Amino acid sequence: MSSDADGAPARPGGRTARNTAAVLDATLAELGDSGYAGLTVERIAARSGVHKATVYRRWGGVDGLLAASLARSREDGWAPRRTGALRGDLAALGHEVVLGFTGSDLRSVPAAAISAAFQSDRAADALRAFFADRHERSAAVVTEAIERGEAPAGTDPCEVVRAAVAPLYYRLCVSREPVAAADVDRAARLAADAAGTGAFVPPAA
Amino acid sequence: MSSDADGAPARPGGRTARNTAAVLDATLAELGDSGYAGLTVERIAARSGVHKATVYRRWGGVDGLLAASLARSREDGWAPRRTGALRGDLAALGHEVVLGFTGSDLRSVPAAAISAAFQSDRAADALRAFFADRHERSAAVVTEAIERGEAPAGTDPCEVVRAAVAPLYYRLCVSREPVAAADVDRAARLAADAAGTGAFVPPAA
Protein backbone atom coordinates (compact mmCIF):
# COMPACT_ATOMS: atom_id res chain seq x y z
CA MET A 1 0.00 0.00 0.00
CA SER A 2 1.34 3.44 -0.90
CA SER A 3 1.57 6.12 1.75
CA ASP A 4 1.39 9.88 1.69
CA ALA A 5 4.19 12.32 2.48
CA ASP A 6 3.73 11.84 6.24
CA GLY A 7 3.82 8.07 6.02
CA ALA A 8 0.06 7.80 6.59
CA PRO A 9 -1.64 5.07 4.54
CA ALA A 10 -3.12 6.29 1.26
CA ARG A 11 -6.77 5.34 0.96
CA PRO A 12 -9.56 6.49 -1.34
CA GLY A 13 -10.99 9.66 0.11
CA GLY A 14 -7.87 10.23 2.22
CA ARG A 15 -5.70 13.30 2.00
CA THR A 16 -3.25 11.76 -0.49
CA ALA A 17 -6.06 10.71 -2.79
CA ARG A 18 -7.64 14.17 -2.56
CA ASN A 19 -4.29 15.86 -3.29
CA THR A 20 -3.64 13.55 -6.23
CA ALA A 21 -7.04 14.29 -7.74
CA ALA A 22 -6.59 18.05 -7.23
CA VAL A 23 -3.11 18.11 -8.78
CA LEU A 24 -3.99 15.93 -11.80
CA ASP A 25 -7.21 17.89 -12.41
CA ALA A 26 -5.15 21.09 -12.29
CA THR A 27 -2.62 19.59 -14.73
CA LEU A 28 -5.32 18.84 -17.30
CA ALA A 29 -6.92 22.25 -16.78
CA GLU A 30 -3.56 24.03 -17.26
CA LEU A 31 -2.83 21.88 -20.31
CA GLY A 32 -6.17 22.85 -21.76
CA ASP A 33 -5.60 26.53 -21.01
CA SER A 34 -1.97 26.97 -22.01
CA GLY A 35 -0.79 23.83 -23.79
CA TYR A 36 2.35 21.92 -22.93
CA ALA A 37 4.60 24.92 -23.59
CA GLY A 38 2.84 26.87 -20.80
CA LEU A 39 2.78 24.03 -18.25
CA THR A 40 4.71 24.74 -15.00
CA VAL A 41 4.73 23.05 -11.60
CA GLU A 42 4.23 26.48 -10.01
CA ARG A 43 0.96 27.13 -11.83
CA ILE A 44 -0.32 23.59 -11.26
CA ALA A 45 0.49 23.80 -7.54
CA ALA A 46 -1.25 27.18 -7.24
CA ARG A 47 -4.32 25.96 -9.11
CA SER A 48 -4.61 22.75 -7.08
CA GLY A 49 -3.90 24.31 -3.68
CA VAL A 50 -1.25 21.63 -3.03
CA HIS A 51 2.21 22.78 -1.93
CA LYS A 52 4.77 23.06 -4.72
CA ALA A 53 7.31 20.99 -2.80
CA THR A 54 4.78 18.16 -2.48
CA VAL A 55 4.12 18.26 -6.22
CA TYR A 56 7.85 18.13 -7.04
CA ARG A 57 8.42 15.29 -4.56
CA ARG A 58 5.58 13.11 -5.85
CA TRP A 59 5.69 13.77 -9.59
CA GLY A 60 9.18 15.09 -10.26
CA GLY A 61 8.03 17.79 -12.68
CA VAL A 62 5.84 18.64 -15.64
CA ASP A 63 6.53 15.44 -17.57
CA GLY A 64 5.68 13.26 -14.57
CA LEU A 65 2.45 15.20 -14.04
CA LEU A 66 1.43 14.81 -17.67
CA ALA A 67 2.21 11.09 -17.61
CA ALA A 68 0.22 10.61 -14.38
CA SER A 69 -2.74 12.55 -15.81
CA LEU A 70 -2.81 10.41 -18.94
CA ALA A 71 -2.38 7.26 -16.84
CA ARG A 72 -5.31 8.27 -14.63
CA SER A 73 -7.53 8.70 -17.69
CA ARG A 74 -7.06 4.96 -18.27
CA GLU A 75 -9.13 4.40 -15.11
CA ASP A 76 -11.96 6.71 -16.16
CA GLY A 77 -14.44 3.98 -17.07
CA TRP A 78 -14.69 5.23 -20.66
CA ALA A 79 -16.39 2.82 -23.04
CA PRO A 80 -17.31 3.19 -26.72
CA ARG A 81 -20.94 3.88 -27.62
CA ARG A 82 -22.91 1.01 -29.14
CA THR A 83 -25.25 1.56 -32.07
CA GLY A 84 -25.90 -2.07 -32.99
CA ALA A 85 -23.74 -2.07 -36.14
CA LEU A 86 -20.01 -1.75 -36.76
CA ARG A 87 -20.27 1.21 -39.13
CA GLY A 88 -22.35 3.18 -36.62
CA ASP A 89 -20.09 2.24 -33.71
CA LEU A 90 -16.98 3.41 -35.60
CA ALA A 91 -18.72 6.64 -36.65
CA ALA A 92 -19.64 7.29 -33.00
CA LEU A 93 -15.98 6.80 -32.04
CA GLY A 94 -14.91 9.19 -34.78
CA HIS A 95 -17.38 11.90 -33.78
CA GLU A 96 -16.07 11.64 -30.21
CA VAL A 97 -12.49 12.13 -31.44
CA VAL A 98 -13.43 15.25 -33.37
CA LEU A 99 -15.41 16.64 -30.44
CA GLY A 100 -12.33 16.19 -28.21
CA PHE A 101 -10.47 18.62 -30.47
CA THR A 102 -13.13 21.09 -31.41
CA GLY A 103 -15.47 20.95 -28.44
CA SER A 104 -13.46 23.51 -26.52
CA ASP A 105 -10.73 25.82 -27.79
CA LEU A 106 -7.81 24.94 -30.07
CA ARG A 107 -5.60 24.08 -27.12
CA SER A 108 -7.69 21.12 -26.07
CA VAL A 109 -6.26 18.46 -23.80
CA PRO A 110 -5.81 15.78 -26.49
CA ALA A 111 -4.10 18.28 -28.79
CA ALA A 112 -1.88 19.41 -25.92
CA ALA A 113 -0.88 15.85 -25.06
CA ILE A 114 -0.12 15.01 -28.70
CA SER A 115 1.90 18.22 -28.95
CA ALA A 116 3.79 17.45 -25.73
CA ALA A 117 4.83 14.06 -27.10
CA PHE A 118 6.89 15.85 -29.79
CA GLN A 119 8.90 17.55 -27.07
CA SER A 120 9.24 14.95 -24.36
CA ASP A 121 10.02 11.23 -24.55
CA ARG A 122 8.19 10.70 -21.27
CA ALA A 123 5.08 12.37 -22.65
CA ALA A 124 5.40 10.23 -25.80
CA ASP A 125 5.56 7.08 -23.67
CA ALA A 126 2.51 8.18 -21.69
CA LEU A 127 0.63 8.98 -24.90
CA ARG A 128 1.52 5.59 -26.38
CA ALA A 129 0.16 3.82 -23.28
CA PHE A 130 -2.96 6.01 -23.36
CA PHE A 131 -3.72 5.14 -26.99
CA ALA A 132 -2.93 1.44 -26.49
CA ASP A 133 -5.57 1.44 -23.75
CA ARG A 134 -8.09 3.36 -25.89
CA HIS A 135 -7.54 1.01 -28.84
CA GLU A 136 -8.07 -1.96 -26.54
CA ARG A 137 -11.33 -0.60 -25.13
CA SER A 138 -12.60 0.58 -28.53
CA ALA A 139 -11.80 -2.83 -30.01
CA ALA A 140 -14.81 -4.23 -28.13
CA VAL A 141 -17.12 -2.88 -30.84
CA VAL A 142 -15.17 -4.83 -33.47
CA THR A 143 -15.10 -8.02 -31.41
CA GLU A 144 -18.87 -7.78 -31.07
CA ALA A 145 -19.20 -7.16 -34.82
CA ILE A 146 -17.21 -10.34 -35.46
CA GLU A 147 -19.60 -12.22 -33.14
CA ARG A 148 -22.54 -10.81 -35.11
CA GLY A 149 -20.94 -11.99 -38.36
CA GLU A 150 -20.18 -8.49 -39.68
CA ALA A 151 -16.48 -9.33 -40.06
CA PRO A 152 -14.65 -12.64 -40.31
CA ALA A 153 -12.94 -14.34 -37.37
CA GLY A 154 -9.26 -13.43 -37.20
CA THR A 155 -9.93 -9.74 -37.93
CA ASP A 156 -7.50 -7.51 -35.99
CA PRO A 157 -9.91 -5.35 -33.95
CA CYS A 158 -7.41 -2.61 -33.02
CA GLU A 159 -6.44 -2.18 -36.67
CA VAL A 160 -10.08 -1.57 -37.60
CA VAL A 161 -10.25 1.10 -34.88
CA ARG A 162 -7.07 2.76 -36.15
CA ALA A 163 -8.44 2.79 -39.71
CA ALA A 164 -11.62 4.54 -38.55
CA VAL A 165 -9.93 7.30 -36.55
CA ALA A 166 -6.63 7.85 -38.41
CA PRO A 167 -8.10 10.00 -41.22
CA LEU A 168 -9.64 12.29 -38.58
CA TYR A 169 -6.45 12.72 -36.56
CA TYR A 170 -4.60 13.27 -39.85
CA ARG A 171 -6.81 16.24 -40.72
CA LEU A 172 -6.78 17.59 -37.15
CA CYS A 173 -3.07 17.23 -36.35
CA VAL A 174 -1.15 16.92 -39.61
CA SER A 175 -2.75 18.44 -42.70
CA ARG A 176 -4.72 20.93 -40.54
CA GLU A 177 -7.90 20.60 -42.58
CA PRO A 178 -11.43 20.96 -41.23
CA VAL A 179 -13.23 17.69 -40.43
CA ALA A 180 -16.81 17.48 -41.64
CA ALA A 181 -19.35 14.96 -40.38
CA ALA A 182 -19.14 13.39 -43.84
CA ASP A 183 -15.40 12.78 -43.31
CA VAL A 184 -16.12 10.94 -40.05
CA ASP A 185 -18.83 8.85 -41.67
CA ARG A 186 -16.72 8.02 -44.73
CA ALA A 187 -13.80 6.86 -42.56
CA ALA A 188 -16.18 4.67 -40.52
CA ARG A 189 -17.82 3.26 -43.64
CA LEU A 190 -14.49 2.47 -45.33
CA ALA A 191 -13.13 0.77 -42.19
CA ALA A 192 -16.34 -1.24 -41.61
CA ASP A 193 -16.62 -2.27 -45.27
CA ALA A 194 -12.97 -3.29 -45.43
CA ALA A 195 -13.39 -5.26 -42.20
CA GLY A 196 -16.40 -7.00 -43.75
CA THR A 197 -14.30 -8.22 -46.67
CA GLY A 198 -11.62 -9.62 -44.33
CA ALA A 199 -9.12 -6.86 -45.11
CA PHE A 200 -7.97 -6.74 -41.47
CA VAL A 201 -7.27 -10.44 -41.10
CA PRO A 202 -3.47 -10.58 -40.87
CA PRO A 203 -1.82 -12.86 -43.45
CA ALA A 204 -1.03 -16.32 -42.04
CA ALA A 205 2.43 -16.42 -40.46
CA MET B 1 10.15 42.45 -58.87
CA SER B 2 11.25 42.22 -55.25
CA SER B 3 14.43 43.94 -54.20
CA ASP B 4 17.03 43.28 -51.52
CA ALA B 5 17.74 45.41 -48.45
CA ASP B 6 19.74 47.92 -50.48
CA GLY B 7 17.08 48.29 -53.17
CA ALA B 8 19.06 46.22 -55.67
CA PRO B 9 16.93 43.99 -57.89
CA ALA B 10 16.53 40.44 -56.58
CA ARG B 11 17.49 37.89 -59.17
CA PRO B 12 18.33 34.18 -59.01
CA GLY B 13 21.97 33.87 -58.03
CA GLY B 14 22.00 37.44 -56.67
CA ARG B 15 22.83 38.32 -53.09
CA THR B 16 19.21 38.36 -51.93
CA ALA B 17 18.59 34.95 -53.42
CA ARG B 18 21.77 33.60 -51.81
CA ASN B 19 20.83 35.08 -48.43
CA THR B 20 17.33 33.67 -48.68
CA ALA B 21 18.62 30.22 -49.47
CA ALA B 22 21.18 30.37 -46.65
CA VAL B 23 18.62 31.55 -44.07
CA LEU B 24 15.91 29.06 -45.04
CA ASP B 25 18.42 26.19 -45.18
CA ALA B 26 19.58 27.21 -41.71
CA THR B 27 15.98 27.31 -40.48
CA LEU B 28 15.35 23.73 -41.59
CA ALA B 29 18.67 22.59 -40.18
CA GLU B 30 17.93 24.22 -36.80
CA LEU B 31 14.43 22.78 -36.83
CA GLY B 32 15.90 19.34 -37.46
CA ASP B 33 18.47 19.78 -34.69
CA SER B 34 16.42 21.39 -31.95
CA GLY B 35 12.75 21.30 -32.93
CA TYR B 36 10.43 24.28 -32.91
CA ALA B 37 10.96 24.87 -29.17
CA GLY B 38 14.68 25.49 -29.77
CA LEU B 39 14.28 27.70 -32.85
CA THR B 40 15.65 31.26 -32.45
CA VAL B 41 16.45 34.00 -34.95
CA GLU B 42 19.87 34.37 -33.29
CA ARG B 43 20.86 30.76 -33.99
CA ILE B 44 19.47 30.82 -37.52
CA ALA B 45 21.33 34.06 -38.30
CA ALA B 46 24.57 32.66 -36.89
CA ARG B 47 24.22 29.42 -38.83
CA SER B 48 23.39 31.15 -42.11
CA GLY B 49 26.02 33.88 -41.84
CA VAL B 50 23.32 36.50 -42.55
CA HIS B 51 23.01 39.45 -40.17
CA LYS B 52 20.37 39.06 -37.46
CA ALA B 53 18.83 42.46 -38.30
CA THR B 54 18.37 41.39 -41.92
CA VAL B 55 16.64 38.20 -40.83
CA TYR B 56 14.27 40.09 -38.53
CA ARG B 57 13.52 42.68 -41.23
CA ARG B 58 12.73 40.15 -43.95
CA TRP B 59 10.98 37.39 -42.00
CA GLY B 60 9.78 39.03 -38.80
CA GLY B 61 10.74 36.13 -36.55
CA VAL B 62 10.69 32.39 -36.06
CA ASP B 63 7.13 31.86 -37.31
CA GLY B 64 7.80 33.78 -40.52
CA LEU B 65 10.97 31.77 -41.12
CA LEU B 66 9.16 28.49 -40.63
CA ALA B 67 6.34 29.57 -42.95
CA ALA B 68 8.83 30.67 -45.62
CA SER B 69 10.76 27.40 -45.33
CA LEU B 70 7.60 25.35 -45.79
CA ALA B 71 6.51 27.64 -48.65
CA ARG B 72 9.87 27.17 -50.39
CA SER B 73 9.50 23.39 -50.18
CA ARG B 74 6.47 23.79 -52.44
CA GLU B 75 8.91 24.83 -55.19
CA ASP B 76 11.22 21.87 -54.71
CA GLY B 77 10.11 19.94 -57.80
CA TRP B 78 9.03 16.97 -55.70
CA ALA B 79 6.91 14.43 -57.55
CA PRO B 80 5.52 11.06 -56.46
CA ARG B 81 7.24 7.90 -57.66
CA ARG B 82 5.45 5.87 -60.33
CA THR B 83 5.30 2.09 -60.17
CA GLY B 84 2.70 1.48 -62.87
CA ALA B 85 -0.16 0.60 -60.50
CA LEU B 86 -2.12 2.58 -57.89
CA ARG B 87 -1.37 0.27 -54.98
CA GLY B 88 2.37 0.44 -55.63
CA ASP B 89 2.29 4.20 -56.14
CA LEU B 90 0.48 4.71 -52.82
CA ALA B 91 2.86 2.34 -51.04
CA ALA B 92 5.83 4.32 -52.43
CA LEU B 93 4.25 7.53 -51.08
CA GLY B 94 3.76 5.89 -47.69
CA HIS B 95 7.31 4.61 -47.47
CA GLU B 96 8.52 8.13 -48.25
CA VAL B 97 6.40 9.53 -45.39
CA VAL B 98 7.84 7.05 -42.91
CA LEU B 99 11.39 7.71 -44.09
CA GLY B 100 10.85 11.44 -43.50
CA PHE B 101 10.25 10.68 -39.82
CA THR B 102 12.66 7.88 -39.15
CA GLY B 103 15.40 8.53 -41.68
CA SER B 104 17.19 10.93 -39.39
CA ASP B 105 16.66 11.52 -35.67
CA LEU B 106 13.35 11.87 -33.82
CA ARG B 107 13.36 15.62 -34.29
CA SER B 108 13.02 15.40 -38.03
CA VAL B 109 11.85 18.41 -40.02
CA PRO B 110 8.33 17.10 -40.76
CA ALA B 111 7.84 16.19 -37.10
CA ALA B 112 9.12 19.62 -36.05
CA ALA B 113 6.77 21.42 -38.44
CA ILE B 114 3.77 19.36 -37.28
CA SER B 115 4.77 20.06 -33.68
CA ALA B 116 5.16 23.79 -34.37
CA ALA B 117 1.63 23.94 -35.76
CA PHE B 118 0.28 23.08 -32.30
CA GLN B 119 1.95 26.17 -30.89
CA SER B 120 1.59 28.76 -33.62
CA ASP B 121 -1.34 29.65 -35.86
CA ARG B 122 1.06 30.93 -38.50
CA ALA B 123 2.91 27.60 -38.50
CA ALA B 124 -0.45 25.80 -38.74
CA ASP B 125 -1.40 27.92 -41.77
CA ALA B 126 1.95 27.19 -43.41
CA LEU B 127 1.58 23.47 -42.70
CA ARG B 128 -1.94 23.46 -44.14
CA ALA B 129 -0.69 25.07 -47.36
CA PHE B 130 2.24 22.64 -47.48
CA PHE B 131 -0.03 19.59 -47.22
CA ALA B 132 -2.56 21.00 -49.67
CA ASP B 133 0.28 21.26 -52.19
CA ARG B 134 1.57 17.76 -51.40
CA HIS B 135 -1.93 16.27 -51.74
CA GLU B 136 -2.33 18.02 -55.08
CA ARG B 137 0.98 16.73 -56.44
CA SER B 138 0.45 13.22 -55.03
CA ALA B 139 -3.04 13.13 -56.53
CA ALA B 140 -1.42 12.72 -59.97
CA VAL B 141 -0.93 9.01 -59.28
CA VAL B 142 -4.67 8.64 -58.63
CA THR B 143 -5.64 10.64 -61.71
CA GLU B 144 -3.44 8.35 -63.80
CA ALA B 145 -5.00 5.29 -62.15
CA ILE B 146 -8.45 6.59 -63.13
CA GLU B 147 -7.20 6.98 -66.71
CA ARG B 148 -5.94 3.38 -66.61
CA GLY B 149 -9.34 2.20 -65.38
CA GLU B 150 -8.16 1.24 -61.88
CA ALA B 151 -10.74 3.55 -60.26
CA PRO B 152 -13.99 5.04 -61.55
CA ALA B 153 -14.27 8.57 -62.93
CA GLY B 154 -15.36 11.00 -60.24
CA THR B 155 -13.01 9.50 -57.64
CA ASP B 156 -11.63 12.23 -55.34
CA PRO B 157 -7.86 11.84 -55.88
CA CYS B 158 -6.75 13.79 -52.79
CA GLU B 159 -9.01 11.69 -50.56
CA VAL B 160 -7.34 8.52 -51.83
CA VAL B 161 -3.96 10.02 -50.98
CA ARG B 162 -5.13 10.97 -47.48
CA ALA B 163 -6.45 7.44 -46.92
CA ALA B 164 -3.09 5.94 -47.86
CA VAL B 165 -0.95 8.14 -45.60
CA ALA B 166 -3.26 8.89 -42.65
CA PRO B 167 -2.70 5.54 -40.85
CA LEU B 168 1.06 6.15 -41.01
CA TYR B 169 0.93 9.69 -39.64
CA TYR B 170 -1.49 8.41 -36.98
CA ARG B 171 1.07 5.89 -35.72
CA LEU B 172 3.97 8.34 -36.02
CA CYS B 173 2.37 11.45 -34.49
CA VAL B 174 -0.62 10.37 -32.42
CA SER B 175 -0.57 6.82 -31.07
CA ARG B 176 3.24 6.76 -31.15
CA GLU B 177 3.45 3.20 -32.44
CA PRO B 178 6.17 1.80 -34.67
CA VAL B 179 5.34 1.65 -38.39
CA ALA B 180 6.29 -1.59 -40.12
CA ALA B 181 6.57 -1.98 -43.89
CA ALA B 182 3.47 -4.17 -43.65
CA ASP B 183 1.53 -1.23 -42.18
CA VAL B 184 2.50 0.95 -45.15
CA ASP B 185 1.55 -1.75 -47.61
CA ARG B 186 -1.78 -2.48 -45.89
CA ALA B 187 -2.75 1.21 -45.91
CA ALA B 188 -1.88 1.44 -49.62
CA ARG B 189 -3.77 -1.75 -50.44
CA LEU B 190 -6.90 -0.67 -48.50
CA ALA B 191 -6.91 2.76 -50.14
CA ALA B 192 -6.35 1.37 -53.65
CA ASP B 193 -8.95 -1.38 -53.21
CA ALA B 194 -11.52 1.08 -51.84
CA ALA B 195 -10.77 3.45 -54.72
CA GLY B 196 -11.33 0.55 -57.13
CA THR B 197 -14.83 -0.04 -55.76
CA GLY B 198 -15.75 3.64 -56.14
CA ALA B 199 -15.58 4.36 -52.40
CA PHE B 200 -13.99 7.77 -53.01
CA VAL B 201 -16.59 9.03 -55.46
CA PRO B 202 -18.41 11.74 -53.50
CA PRO B 203 -22.18 11.23 -53.28
CA ALA B 204 -24.10 13.24 -55.89
CA ALA B 205 -24.98 16.68 -54.61
Cβ atoms of B165 and B94 closer than 8 Å: yes
Q: Is the model's pLDDT at A35 over the cut of 60? A: yes
Interface test with A, best of B108, B114, B118, B138 (most A CBs within 10 A): B118
φ and ψ at A3, to 5 degrees? -135, 160
Top pLDDT among A83 and B117 is at A83
What residues of chain A have any CB closer than 8 angstroms to a CB in chain B? 35, 37, 111-112, 114-115, 117-119, 124-125, 127-128, 131-132, 135, 159, 162-163, 165-167, 169-171, 173-177, 186, 189-190, 193-194, 199
B107-116 tens-digit pLDDT: 467 777 888 8
Closest alpha carbon within chain B to A36: B119
The alpha-carbon radius of gyration of chain B (Å, integer) is 20
| Residues paired with residue A3 on neighbouring β-strands, in sequence order | A9
Cα atoms in the Cβ-side hemisphere of radius 13 Å centred on A147: 7
- Domains, in order of start, for chain B: 15-73 (1.10.10.60), 86-196 (1.10.357.10)
Closest alpha carbon within chain B to A114: B174
CB contact under 8 A, B128 and A176: yes
Q: Which residues of B touch A162 (CB under 8 A)?
A: 167, 170-171, 175
- Within 10 A of A153 (CB to CB), how many other CB atoms are there? 9
- pLDDT at site A102: 75
pLDDT band (50, 70, 90) for residue B96: very high
Burial (Cβ within 10 Å: 0-12, 13-18, ≥19) of residue A179: buried
Q: Is the model's pLDDT at B181 over the cut of 70? A: yes
The alpha-carbon radius of gyration of chain A (Å, integer) is 20
CB contact under 8 A, B128 and A175: yes
3-state DSSP assignment of residue A3 = strand
B136-150 tens-digit pLDDT: 999 999 999 999 999
Cβ atoms of B97 and A15 closer than 8 Å: no
Q: Is the model's pLDDT at A125 over the cut of 80? A: yes
Q: Is the model's pLDDT at A12 over the cut of 70? A: no
